[in-house]
Structure 1
Amino acid sequence: MYEFMNNMSALSLRGILENNKLAGANYDDWLIDIIDKPAVTAPVPKEDGSIDNEATKAYEKYLENCLTAKCIILATMGSDLQRQHQDMDPPTIVEHLKKMYGAQSNTARYQLSKTLFRSTLDVDSPVGPHVLKMIDLIEQLEKLGCKLGKELSQDLILQSLLENFLQFIVSFNIIKVSYDLHEMLNMLIDYENQISSEKKERS
Structure 2
Amino acid sequence: MAEDCPVKSDEPTDDEIKAYDEWVKADEMARCYILASMANVLQHQHQSMSTAYDMLESLKEMFGEQNRATNQTAMKALLTTKMVEGTSVREYVLKMMSLLNELEILGVVIDKESQVEMVLQTLPDSFQQFCLNYNMNKMDSSLAKLLNELQAAKSIIKQQAPPAALMVDKLSSSTSKPEGEKKKKKKPCKVSGANGGVAKPKEKCYHSSNLVIIRNSVPAT
**Taking structure 2 as the reference length, what is the TM-score of the superposition?**
0.65
Contact 1:69 1:90 in 2 (8 A): yes
Q: Which runs of 5+ in 2 are unaligned?
A: 167-221
CA RMSD of aligned residues (A): 2.2
Partner Cα separation in structure 1 for residue 6 and residue 84 of structure 2: 57
Which residue is 1:135 aligned to? 97
**Cα distance change on mapping 1:186 and 1:53 into 2, 3 Å:** closer
Which residue is 1:198 aligned to? 160
Contact 1:151 1:177 in 2 (8 A): no
Partner Cα separation in structure 1 for residue 118 and residue 19 of structure 2: 50
Quote how far apart the aligned CAs of 1:72 are. Answer: 2.6
1:40 and 2:12 matched: no
1:164 and 2:130 matched: no
**Cα distance change on mapping 1:180 and 1:61 into 2, 3 Å:** closer
1:79 and 2:40 matched: yes
Which residue is 2:107 aligned to? 145
Aligned residues: 163
**Cα distance change on mapping 1:200 and 1:106 into 2, 3 Å:** same
Which of the numbers 73, 94, 103 marks the counterpart of 2:65? 103
Q: Percent identity?
A: 29
Per-residue CA distance 1:27-73 (angstroms, 9 max, x = gap) = xxxxx6xxx222234553xxxxxx54635555455444433332232
1:126 and 2:88 matched: yes
Contact 2:78 2:96 in 1 (8 A): yes
Contact 2:5 2:20 in 1 (8 A): no
Q: Which amino acid aligns with 1:40?
A: P
Partner Cα separation in structure 1 for residue 24 and residue 135 of structure 2: 54
Structure having the larger proportion of residues in helix: 1
Partner Cα separation in structure 2 for residue 201 and residue 140 of structure 1: 41
Partner Cα separation in structure 2 for residue 149 and residue 198 of structure 1: 35
Per-residue CA distance 1:135-176 (angstroms, 9 max, x = gap) = 111111111111221221122111111111110110111345
Per-residue CA distance 1:106-146 (angstroms, 9 max, x = gap) = 11111111111111111321222112111111111111111
**Structure-to-structure mapping, 1:59-78, within 5 angstroms:** 59-78=20-39
